[in-house]
Every structure is written in structure tokens, then in C-alpha cells.
Structure 1
Amino acid sequence: MIGDLRAQVTVLMPAPITDAGGGFEPSYDAGTNVDANVESLSSRRTSVAGRDRFRRRYRLTMRYQEAIGFSARIVYRGVVHRITDIRAGGDRQRTHTLTMEEIV
């Protein structure tokens, strides 16, 4: 399994910035590069500004990182993706599998 981690992705963790109104503006840290196994899934069609667009989806398996949650973002091939599902690997928490899709 670990030998199959041939792709490289960047994990962006949330680092919100305080705005002038006392709220928070979403922001992400510089990111950490990790090795992963990435598989293509079926695309999902969305409509943006009256135009159909297809969001690419992927299944990503990587070494387990406790800090990864739904608020993290994944950069793969220069495109930012949101995490839509997180599952623990069947190998005693050594890996986890994420489902992710492009942010339109």
C-alpha cells in the first residue's frame, strides 16, 4: 500500500484571518506536500452562471494525518479541491481515504 503512493498533493490547512468587523476571513496556510495514491471518479455536473460545468472528483489515499478534516483543502495538479468524505484505512489508522472534488 505505502509503495502505491506515487502522486504528490499539497494539503492546505485553515488559518482564518481576523477582519476589521471582528469576524474571520477564510484563509489557508502554505501547505504540506504529501505522497498519495489518486484515482479518478465520475464527474459531477453543476450549473454556474447559467453554464453547465463538470467538477472532477478523485479518491485519494494517503498516510494518516490527525489534523485533516473537512475544512482542509487539497491541491492536486494545480487545482484546489474540497474534501467531501473521509474514511479510515483498514490498516489500523496508518492511512485514510478522502473523496474530493474541484472547487468551482
Structure 2
Amino acid sequence: MELFYFMVFGALGAVVAALELGKNNKDRINTSPAFNSFKNNYLVFYSLVMAGDWLQGPYVYYLYSTYGFGKGEIGQLFITGFGSSMLFGTIVGTLADKQEASSNNGRH
């Protein structure tokens, strides 16, 4: 089963790489070198943070198992955590953007 996941990940990675490399100049947005530097630094930092978050999963799993939770219950906890993060993160982000926009309307 693990080989299946590696094959799917590799295939999807190849599709993304092909789509990105297949772009021509009219599909690309011209940005300043300062923005490109910021973007690259952000992507490196974001990747490191996500890798760190991903690496804590086995430790959280072990912690739950030592508290007596079963495999199915731990799976439900993980799914609930990711699902609530997806739902509330999207809602809270949108509300924060709206709040900032409405508070900046009176400023010049």
C-alpha cells in the first residue's frame, strides 16, 4: 500500500511540474526581483514549518495511544482536528480580512 502512495505522489508531482514548465511568457506574471526574493524565502520558511508540523504527527499518535485511545479513535481525532482547522481557519481568515478592510475605510 505504501508503494501506491509514493506512485500517486510522484505522478501528481510530475503533472504539476509539467504544467509549470509548460507555461510560456504570456502565462507568467512579471514581478519585481524584490517580490521574487520574498516569495522564495516565504516558500522555504512555509515548507519548513509544514515539515515540522507533519513530523509531530507520530508523537501525537503515540501520546494518544498511551492514554488508551484506539487506532480508530485516534484517526477520528486527527480528522476532526484537520477538518475544524480547514473550516474555522477559512472562516476566521475571511472575517479577519473583512474586519481589516472595514477598519481601513475611514483612514487615508
Tell me the TM-score normalised to structure 1 length: 0.17
Structure number having the greater helix percentage = 2
- The structure with higher relative contact order (CA 8 Å, sep 6+) is 1
